[in-house]
């Protein structure tokens, strides 16, 4: 018998605390598999953020630092500037990255910090019970937009990859999804490319992963995958928004 699929060795034995069918689990696997396959587990330091993935430090078998809400890119900056030979990644949700942490996100990209940001976008605040996020769609019902997000009150959703692609410091920005196996494979390839950039000191990479939140969307896990495809993908098109990988070696100047 040959193994077709087994659990990554970079994941701990701790059972994931995410809701049934939550795609955080899938994304955790992809990050773990990339770290394992690229042989960098020993020198990886992850930065956990605040949101449903706040306990991420229990799930990855690498050194990890817990950051305050939104500050993960700044914490990652402190880490990578102190440990330039290490592999540093952050793992953030839409509130963490695009609301409270948007300044830290934009400036880490603008400085082309040599880090990987894994951005889990499910258009809602999961941990605190389903409130509106900066990426909540117009008309989407959440706990704090009970009549559907109204642009005249709450403005418009933020397209992070598009926004960061305008910055010279952004080396690589790609949006992927994990709603089916082909997309999961593409998501893994994007994450691998991001880590490859980091290892080769090419600067800032972000992979935005369209994800589901069955619990707060009020849908079954399987129906959530459909909702993602029908609603999130049209507003947040998948694809590569910036790729300066060829330019390379951005971080060689300092240090």
Q: Report d(CA 5, CA 219) in Å as an integer.
A: 28
Q: Is 225 in the site for other proteins (CB under 8 A)?
A: yes
Residue from 151, 185, 200, 249 that binds other proteins (CB under 8 A)?
185
Residue in the block written with tokens 């080769």: 200
CA distances to 17, 127, 155 from 224, in Å: 19, 17, 25
CA torsion through residues 75, 78, 81, 83, sign: negative
In the bound state with other proteins, the residue whose beta carbon lies nearer, of 153 and 181, is 181
Residue from 104, 136, 173, 193 that binds other proteins (CB under 8 A)?
104
Q: Is 177 in the site for other proteins (CB under 8 A)?
A: no
CA distances to 66, 92, 114, 122, 170 from 16, in Å: 17, 16, 29, 18, 32
Q: Is 11 in the site for other proteins (CB under 8 A)?
A: yes
Site string for other proteins, 106-135 (x = CB under 8 A): xx---x------------------------
In the bound state with other proteins, the residue whose beta carbon lies nearer, of 229 and 235, is 229
DSSP conformation letters of 37-90: HTT-GGGEEEEE-SSGGGGGGGTBSSEEEEPPTT-HHHHHHHHHHH-TTSEEEE
Residue from 25, 99, 219, 238 that binds other proteins (CB under 8 A)?
25
Q: Is 15 in the site for other proteins (CB under 8 A)?
A: yes
Q: Is 236 in the site for other proteins (CB under 8 A)?
A: no
Residue from 31, 34, 35, 67 that binds other proteins (CB under 8 A)?
67
Residue from 36, 38, 65, 199 that binds other proteins (CB under 8 A)?
65
Q: Which residues contact 16 (CB under 8 A, 6 or more apart)?
A: 24, 25, 28, 59
Q: Report d(CA 164, CA 124) in Å as an integer.
A: 20
Residue from 31, 34, 79, 133 that binds other proteins (CB under 8 A)?
79
In the bound state with other proteins, the residue whose beta carbon lies nearer, of 145 and 216, is 216
Residue 194: both structure tokens together: 């991001």
Residue in the block written with tokens 């971080």: 251
Residues binding other proteins (CB under 8 A): 1-8, 11, 15-16, 18-26, 28-29, 41-45, 47-48, 54-55, 57, 60-68, 71, 74-83, 86-87, 103-104, 106-107, 111, 180-181, 184-185, 214, 220-222, 225, 254-255
């Amino acid at each position: 018998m040959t193994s077709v699929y087994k659990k990554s060795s970079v994941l701990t034995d701790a059972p994931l605390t995410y809701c049934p069918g939550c795609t955080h689990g899938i994304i955790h696997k992809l990050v773990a598999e990339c770290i394992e396959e690229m042989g960098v587990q020993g020198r990886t330091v992850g930065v956990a953020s605040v949101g449903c993935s706040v306990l991420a430090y229990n799930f990855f078998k690498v050194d990890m630092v817990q950051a305050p809400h939104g500050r993960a890119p700044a914490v990652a900056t402190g880490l990578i500037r102190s440990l330039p030979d290490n592999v540093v990644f952050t793992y953030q949700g839409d509130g963490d990255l695009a609301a409270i942490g948007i300044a830290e996100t934009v400036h880490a990209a603008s400085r082309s910090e040599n880090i990987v940001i894994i951005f889990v976008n499910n258009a809602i605040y999961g941990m605190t019970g389903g409130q509106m996020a900066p990426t909540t769609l117009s008309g989407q019902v959440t706990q704090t937009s009970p009549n559907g997000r109204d642009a005249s009150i709450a403005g418009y959703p933020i397209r992070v990859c598009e926004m960061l692609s305008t910055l010279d410091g952004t080396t690589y920005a790609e949006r992927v999804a994990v709603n089916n196996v082909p997309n999961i494979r593409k998501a893994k390839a994007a994450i691998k490319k991001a880590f490859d950039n980091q290892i080769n000191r090419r600067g800032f990479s972000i992979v935005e992963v369209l994800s589901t939140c069955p619990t707060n969307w009020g849908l079954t896990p399987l129906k959530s995958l459909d909702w993602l495809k029908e609603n999130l993908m049209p507003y947040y098109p998948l694809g590569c928004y910036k790729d300066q990988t060829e330019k390379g070696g951005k971080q060689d100047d300092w240090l």
